[in-house]
Amino acid sequence: MTIFALRIFIFTILHLAIAGAIILIDRTATTRERRLEVQLIFLFALGVAGSGIGNFIGHFLFSDVVADSIG
């Protein structure tokens, strides 16, 4: 359960925190479209790419453990 909570934090909540900080710091993020763009960039970078890289490492380096957990 701890790894599940960590993955939820990394791939969903962390990108919101980083994007929120960037929006507060960035002076060009004044329009709604720009703020949404910053959110989506970090969502795709951390959520999609990070999840894919994490899954690759798991399947490549820990293939026996992953195969046992899949069934």
Q: Taking the complete model, does pTM exceed 0.75, yes or no? A: no
Q: How far is 44 from 40, CA to CA, in rounded Å?
A: 6
pLDDT in tens, 23-71: 999 888 889 999 999 989 888 887 788 878 888 988 899 888 888 888 8
Helices (DSSP H) in 26-62: which residue ranges? 32-42, 50-61
Tell me the per-residue pLDDT of 9-28, one tens digit each, with 9 for 90 and over. 777 788 888 888 999 998 88
Contact of 35 with 23, CB cutoff 8 Å: yes
What integer pLDDT is reported at residue 1 of this predicted model?
59
Helix H or strand E encompassing 68: helix 63-70
Length of the chain: 71
